[in-house]
Amino acid sequence: MTKSTRLETDTRVETVRQFILRGDETSDIVRAAAETWGIKDRQAWYYIEKAREKIKELTELARPYLIAEHIAIRRDIRMRAQKANNLYAELAAAQDEAKLFGLYPSEKIELTDWRAPFLALGLDPDAARRKLVDIEVKLLEPSATLPHAQQQGSAALQSAEIPHDTSQS
């Protein structure tokens, strides 16, 4: 097996890049490369790695243009929605554009502590936990038989008031 030239390597990497962008399975790309070019799987994986690097590089270079293009698209949608007097479509396009600019806070809530959701609502987490345990105990009491248990459980849930955390105010 002879070593491929720089031109052959570049051509093969571009071919593999096209396969990746087309959505071909990696195993199919490896098999096709090995059969077509008479190379080992290891060499095919090298081409795949180089193709992925090229895709990443092109994507990073194009990012500012892609953002500008998507902003222009949303502004066009807003203009057309305004002409059609479609306030919902105009608002949706404006909101989407604002998301592109990062004007909204992240929708992702990362919980590192079980108390966080209660504190965010201004509730005392320990009191909430105690109240939930009390409700669970009431629901599991032997005296709570089926129809009566459902009523009792429902009443327990309705009467469950969780005290607010006054230390945060």
pLDDT (tens digit, 9 = 90+) per residue, 93-130? 999 999 888 888 776 666 677 787 778 788 888 888 88
Residue 123 β-bridge partners: 164
Q: What angle do CA 151, 158, 140 make, to 5 degrees?
A: 50
With beta carbons less than 8 A apart as the criterion, state whether 43 and 8 touch: no
Average confidence score pLDDT of the chain: 82
Q: What SS3 class is residue 148?
A: helix
Pairwise CA distance, residues 135 & 42, whole Å: 61
Per-residue burial over 40-52, b if 16 or more Cβ lie within 10 Å, else e, is eeebbbbbbebbe
Of the pLDDT bands very low, low, confident and very high (cuts 50, 70, 90), residue 15 is very high
d(CA 118, CA 131): 13
Instruction: Give start and end residues of each alpha helix (H) in 84-143.
Output: 87-100, 116-120, 125-140
Of the listed ranges 16-20, 85-89, 97-101, the least confidently predicted one is 97-101
Confidence of residue 169 (pLDDT cuts 50, 70, 90): very low
The C-alpha atoms of residue 159 and residue 139 are separated, in whole angstroms, by 13
Residues in the chain: 169
Q: Largest Cα–Cα distance of the chain, in whole Å?
A: 85
Q: What are the DSSP calls for 33-97, one per residue?
A: HHHHH---HHHHHHHHHHHHHHHHHHHHHHHHHHHHHHHHHHHHHHHHHHHTT-HHHHHHHHHHH
The residue ranges of every structural domain in the chain are: 6-100, 116-158
More confident residue, 35 or 158: 35
Rounded to two decimals, what is the model's pTM?
0.43
